[in-house]
Amino acid sequence: MVFRWASFPAIVRLPRREWAGCNPMQLVKLGAAVLNQLPLDWQGNRTRISTAIHAAREQGVTILCLPELCISGYGCEDAFLAPGTQRMALRVLHELLPETRGMIVSFGLPLLYQNGLFNVACLVADGKLLGFVGKKHLAGDGLHYEPRWFKPWPEDVVKEVTIGGSRHPIGDLYFDCGGVRIGFEICEDAWVANRPGTRLARQGVDVILNPSASHFAFGKLEIRKRFVLEGSRAFGVSYVYANLLGNEAGRAVYDGEAMIASAGRLIAAGPRFSFRDALVTGATVDVEATRMSQARTASYEPSLEGPAQYCVVAAFDYPATSLETSGTSSPAWERAPHIKEEEFARAIPLALFDYLRKSRAQGFVVSLSGGADSSAIVCLIHLMVELGVAELGFDGFKHKLGHIAHLAPVKTNRDLVHALLVTAYQSTANSGPVTRAAAAAIAGAVNADHLELDITTLVEGYVAMVEEGIGRKLAWQTDDIALQNIQARVRSPGIWMIANIRNALLLSTSNRSEAAVGYATMDGDTSGSVSPIAGIDKAFLRQWLVWLEKTGPTDGQSIPALRCVNEQQPTAELRPQESGQTDETDLMPYPLLDAIERAAIRDKQMPTEVFQLMRLQFPKYEIRQLAQWVERFFRLWCRNQWKRERYAPSFHVDDENLDPKTWCRFPILSGGFERELAELQAHVDSLDSTG
């Protein structure tokens, strides 16, 4: 029932809870459910939602918040605009209504109203659909593209939508369920300055639910904690935050964060990066206590002139509950000194696990060079097995990969890795014994199914064929790039063949630093179905490998065999051994490259500004050498956008991503910063002239 206060008799204007003689304590158990959903997987999504509702009921949860767009999946992309998507989402919603008997549950789905598509949260109480709240602020930057599909719902607007012959309110709503008032901030709504919670607080809302689909990024945990805690304190409410979990649609990773706060205090938090389909975190709050906390706040000004928003009133009887003590301590690894390394060691393995099972591939294949990049990927697959089995149990882990028949007889974690991962060291005449031994050591440490392939004859065959065709010999002095690239490209067909034989995912081994400057061979080392580390800079990757060698995850183990990788200087090994080729000789020192990339691409600084920043950060380098490296970066960046357009899908882990499809758009053809680089040269010349 939708009403304005002024439309009803005086007795209705005074909600039940404000009558004298109210119980001094009103306990309600709140729940935040995190779900590992899949876009357009209607039956699977429904099953996981049902699992969460059942788990919440067993915990005694009365008010349950599910993640944003949990029915359809968040990453449906342009399929949101298909009429069948909205129809099916509503069908699934109605199928779920009976499961909410005795509970209040929020669902997320797309809803078409007046030829506009809206991202809505639907509140259901005791099997009855109460109404739809429209998301007001759409995420439209970086990884998110919501304004392409959805319209923002305006403030103070409430309409009616007819569904299945019944009329329901839609818009800027809050709800009074049995005397407890419930409002919504949907994901991005909580990240803006003009949060809906400010207005909800003036209406005396008791509980704010935040259904979210907030992608993981390094350091984001603390930001979310701040707005949840501050929202609960400033608004004088209990606040429930429920995020998506896992690799939902291919690129974004969701950490499955669940938080419940009341009056500025975190009273419950769930685990992150879980391998489970659904998890529920619950906590009991005293509604009367939060109301009095708000009443004691001198700055609080209730809306007494009649609310601008609409309220939906529904009868609901809350079951008796007790005020139990909730666990709020974070896991040991979140308190560890190397939190970024710990997060990376969990986010990518979970992303790989979900990609493997959702794509129904039979395993992974990696061209293992013995260097940092491919070794890191192999170790991440090892961590996927170790962390997944630790949480799910051995049989539970195998059950979630039940489509892989050859896992059935496997009995140990090491045998699981062997069954899931094939590695291949592909040598040419320019490969050395150090990398061959390192590849064998890493494969042995994790028990991969390791192969050694000699492709020298294939390389020589291509070179001879081209020499005959062009009528001259190829030489390193004149044909350096061609002779390097043919070795990398010849590695591709064989490793793809192994992936095809195994019906497995070929993992590309390029990192973000290489992507920035195009230091990768297209159709060579960029070949693959997925590029797990393309979102990670080389400097951090090398740092992570040292940490994994000596320390490792708090609840896992180190991999001492990585010493043979960490002691090497990164090299492509594509020139003759006597050339002493290293990546940093070809490019520049990796820490400098990554610092230039952040300044130029993330922070949008021009060449001279980047040079000035680098002089401050790296004073040990001579100014002309530094200027040469800055110029090299900008020229290579512009020249190689076409390569970034062709990279395999990568996982998003921070706000420095270079993926042109989801984060960092740049023209394939451009002026190449020619005028800006000329200004840089003039600036360096002026520095020389002044000494």
DSSP state of 647: S
C-alpha–C-alpha distance, residues 428 and 455, integer Å? 6
Domain ranges within the chain, ordered by starting residue: 2-6+26-327, 337-583, 588-691
Residue 325 pLDDT:
56
Shared fold status for 2-6+26-327 and 337-583: no
Instruction: Please give, one letter per residue, the 3-state secondary structure of 384-401.
Output: HHHHHHHHHCHHHHHHHC
Residues facing 450 on adjacent strands: 423
CATH topology of domain 337-583: Rossmann fold (3.40.50)
Residue with tokens 């002779």: 483
Residues facing 526 on adjacent strands: none
C-alpha–C-alpha distance, residues 452 and 440, integer Å? 9
> Could you tell me which of 627, 629, 632, 636 has the C-alpha nearest to residue 666?
636
Residue 640: CA atoms inside 13 Å, Cβ hemisphere, count?
22
Residue with tokens 């044909």: 479
Distance between alpha carbon 63 and the CA centroid of its chain, in Å?
A: 27
- Asked whether 185 and 208 are in contact (CB, 8 A), the reply is yes
C-alpha–C-alpha distance, residues 456 and 573, integer Å? 13
- In order, the DSSP letters of 563-608 are HHHHTSPP----S-GGG---HHHHS--HHHHHHHHIIIIIS---HH
pLDDT tens readout for residues 162-197: 998 899 999 999 999 999 999 999 999 999 999 999
> Could you tell me which of 158, 167, 353, 355 has the C-alpha nearest to residue 251?
355
Measured between its terminal Cα atoms, the distance across the chain in Å is: 79
**3 state DSSP class of 241:** strand
DSSP state of 531: B
Q: Kindly state the helix (H) or strand (E) to which residue 422 belongs, with its residue range.
A: strand 421-427
C-alpha–C-alpha distance, residues 67 and 240, integer Å? 11
Residue 558 pLDDT:
95
- Asked whether 183 and 175 are in contact (CB, 8 A), the reply is yes
Give the global pTM: 0.93
Phi, psi angle pair for 331, to nearest 5°: -65, 160
Distances (CA, A) of 416 to 181, 296, 349, 387, 646: 50, 58, 14, 13, 32
Residue 17 pLDDT:
40
| Homologous superfamily (CATH) for 588-691 | HUPs (3.40.50.620)
- Edge-to-edge strand list for the sheet holding 278-286: 158-163, 166-171, 128-134, 116-125, 104-113, 63-65, 27-35, 278-286
Helices 674-689 and 607-617 meet at what angle, rounded to 10?
50
C-alpha–C-alpha distance, residues 79 and 72, integer Å? 10
**3 state DSSP class of 511:** coil
Which residues in the chain show pLDDT less than 70?
A: 1-24, 298-300, 303-309, 325-329, 691
CATH class of 2-6+26-327: alpha beta
